[in-house]
Amino acid sequence: MKKITIIAMLLVVTAFSLNAQDNLTVPERHNLTIYGTMSLEDAEEISESHPDEIEILATSDDEAAVHMSEEATHLVHDLRGTHGPSYLYASNAIDAIKQIRHERVERAQQMNFSITEGESVENALQVISQSNIEDQIEELESYGTRYHTTAAARRAGVDLKAKWETMAATYGRDDVSVRLVDHSNASGGRTNMYSVIMTIKGAELPDEYVIIGGHLDSTSNNNNTAPGGDDDASGISVITEATRSLFEIGFVPKRTIEVMAYAAEEVGLFGSKDIANRYGRNNVNVVAVGQFDMSNFKSSSRDIYFVNDSNAIDPTLTGFFQDLLDEYHGPNSGDTITYSTTQCGYGCSDHRYWFENGYRTAFPFESSFRDFQNNNVIYHRTNDLMRNVPGGNANHSFKFAKLAVEYLIEVSKKSTTLSAPEFSQEGYELYVINNNLKYKSQSSSSPIKSLKVYDVTGKRVYRENGLGNAGSVSLNKFSAGAYVINIILENKKELSKKVILN
């Protein structure tokens, strides 16, 4: 009799659970369309004040896996004023519950960070332009809003790709490519907005990747036409100018650098989750990931605050970022940049899924999160414009651009080899005598289309088109040193020769 009673009780409990779950399918619960994770405190508060907008599926420590409405995503953002989307999107209930368990992929970390590239860093710091950062911020503000579903957001990705391609071509960087990433079928959150990735191929260790990124969208709410001058036009402008400075000094990296502008961060990290998961599944050897999300609203006493949440940040890489500031911007440097640490409380930007895929991450932020919440009066508002930040310019972002270029140089390292291959082919002559380059094509059907000269850093220092089948070019205009002579033939084949000029 006792066993029957217990079984009956279990059936009642099971039936109650099923009925409770079935309640989610009645009309008034159809608005629960989004799975995700957020802080347990926020989930409980929304559940109490708006019970029809959220269901708590599971909890772990101070986090909750939830099923919620779109309205709930706005409620949680308004509740805390937290940076980022305030929740992390999940594709289904199982994915949401898995996220709060923090099942991080384990990867062997073999990279030893070191500071050895002082000359290249100092050269880059001399050419970083605050006005370039300001121009880029205003350019992104001009879209009005970059909410991920808008035509403006999609166009922003296409336009940024063209801008980065033009920038690389201006400096003659044949080692650079730019691509759009389509997330329309991504399992971790779909968007028609593109992410943009610029790749600078490493000359010696091309299969080791150094990543720097920020997000290209501007707000979590389509009803809010926030132009996103600080969030995150400032971050995109920082990484763009840091990369341009590498081109300006002719820096050729040993390791491959990838510069990423992520789509749809504000609605749950859609773009970066898709990309990080792809890299993780393919076991891409990413040695470091730096995230630059908001850099221009100074509301704390220190200049840069490093997020140090243990569930999304690697302490080794974060410590290396701090070492860079100590080395290049310490108290006796004449260009002091101060720093401290802060906590977001959850994986609040695009570094989160890189971390979960086992990669080292760091996130320098514009202020402490307490001061951000209390003082950043333009965040996600229509007046999020550069003219409304303290100072009305990009002086604060300028400091982040310096840190960004130091990170890229010191982790990727300068290549010490000339990357152009030696090439010889019967029927062509290419040699240097008395500082004159002699060239000759024995085939009238394959004249020489163009000639380029690169210095030891990989920077193009000379170009001439339409040279015909034979002739010479004086190299006396160049200073002594090593160069690569590269000739493109009409049949698209190439001749390359390394030369030393005295």
Where residue 466 sits, what CATH number does that domain have? 2.60.40.3080
**Overall average pLDDT of the 207-221 stretch:** 94
Considering the candidates 248, 265, 274, 303, report the single residue annotated as catalytic.
265
Q: For residue 26, is pLDDT > 50?
A: no
Any domain includes 12: no
490: confidence class by pLDDT, cuts 50, 70, 90: low
Q: Mean pLDDT lowest for which of 138-147, 234-243, 430-439, 477-486?
A: 430-439
Most trustworthy range by pLDDT among 66-75, 303-312, 487-496: 303-312
The answer to whether residue 27 scores a pLDDT higher than 70 is no
234-248 helix and 118-127 helix, angle to the nearest 10 degrees: 120
Q: Which of 495, 410, 496 is nearest to 458 (CA)?
A: 496
389/260 same-domain check: yes
Is the same domain home to 254 and 308? yes
Q: Are residues 96 and 122 in the same domain?
A: no
Q: Is there a domain that residue 417 lies in? A: no
Q: Count CB atoms within 10 A of the CB of residue 473.
A: 17
Which strands form 481-489's sheet, in the order they lie side by side?
A: 460-468, 448-455, 481-489, 494-501
125 and 151 share a domain? yes
Determine whether 67 is an active site residue: no
> Does the pLDDT value for residue 13 go beyond 60?
no
Domain that holds residue 85: 19-100
Q: Tell me, yes or no, whether 38 and 142 share the same domain.
A: no
Tell me the percentage of the chain whose pLDDT exceeds 90: 58
Give which of 299, 410, 290, 391 is closest to 350, Cα–Cα.
290
Q: What is the band of 444 on the pLDDT scale with cuts at 50, 70, 90?
A: low
Residue 11 placed within a domain: no
**Is residue 422 scored above 50 in pLDDT?**
no
Residue 422 lies in a domain: no
pLDDT of residue 323: 98
Last residue of a domain, one of 48, 66, 100: 100
Whether residue 380 lies in the annotated active site: yes
Residues 343 and 210 in one domain: yes
pLDDT given for residue 202 in this prediction: 94
Same structural domain, 69 and 33: yes
Q: What is the mean pLDDT of residues 408-419?
A: 84
Supply the CATH number for residue 363's domain.
3.40.630.10
Tell me the whole-structure pTM to 2 decimals.
0.77
- Mean pLDDT of the 225-250 span: 95
Query: Does residue 94 sit in the same domain as residue 171?
Result: no
Least-confidence region, from 17-21, 112-116, 401-405: 17-21
| pLDDT value at 88 more than 60 | yes
Q: Which of 215, 329, 351, 396 is catalytic?
A: 215
pLDDT tens-digit series, residues 160-172: 999 999 999 988 8
Please say if 138 is a catalytic residue: no
**Are both 285 and 139 inside the same structural domain?**
yes
In a domain, 109, yes or no: no
Percentage with pLDDT > 70 across the chain: 87
- The pLDDT of residue 220 is 75
- Average pLDDT over the chain, rounded to whole? 86
Q: What is the structure's pLDDT at 195?
A: 98
> Residue 91 falls within a domain, yes or no?
yes
Inside any domain, residue 138:
yes
| Whether the predicted pLDDT of 78 surpasses 60 | yes
Most confident by average pLDDT, 74-78, 374-378, 419-423: 374-378
Q: Are residue 310 and residue 399 in the same domain, yes or no?
A: yes
Same domain? 403 vs 279: yes
The residue that leads in pLDDT, 466 or 144, is 144
Distance CA 129, CA 405 (A): 12
DSSP type of residue 230: I
Say how many domains are in the chain: 3
Q: Mark whether 231 is an active-site residue.
A: yes
Is residue 113 situated within a structural domain?
no
Say which of 266, 274, 303, 406 is annotated catalytic: 266
Beta carbons of 269 and 223 less than 8 angstroms apart: no
Q: Catalytic one among 183, 380, 396, 410?
A: 380
Per-residue pLDDT reduced to its tens digit, 271-314: 999 999 999 999 999 999 999 999 999 999 999 999 998 889 99
Q: Which of 105, 135, 382, 384 is nearest to 236 (CA)?
A: 135
Same domain, yes or no: 388 and 438: no
Could you tell me how many helices (H) and strands (E) the chain has, helices first? Answer: 13, 20
Residue 463 has pLDDT above 80, yes or no: yes
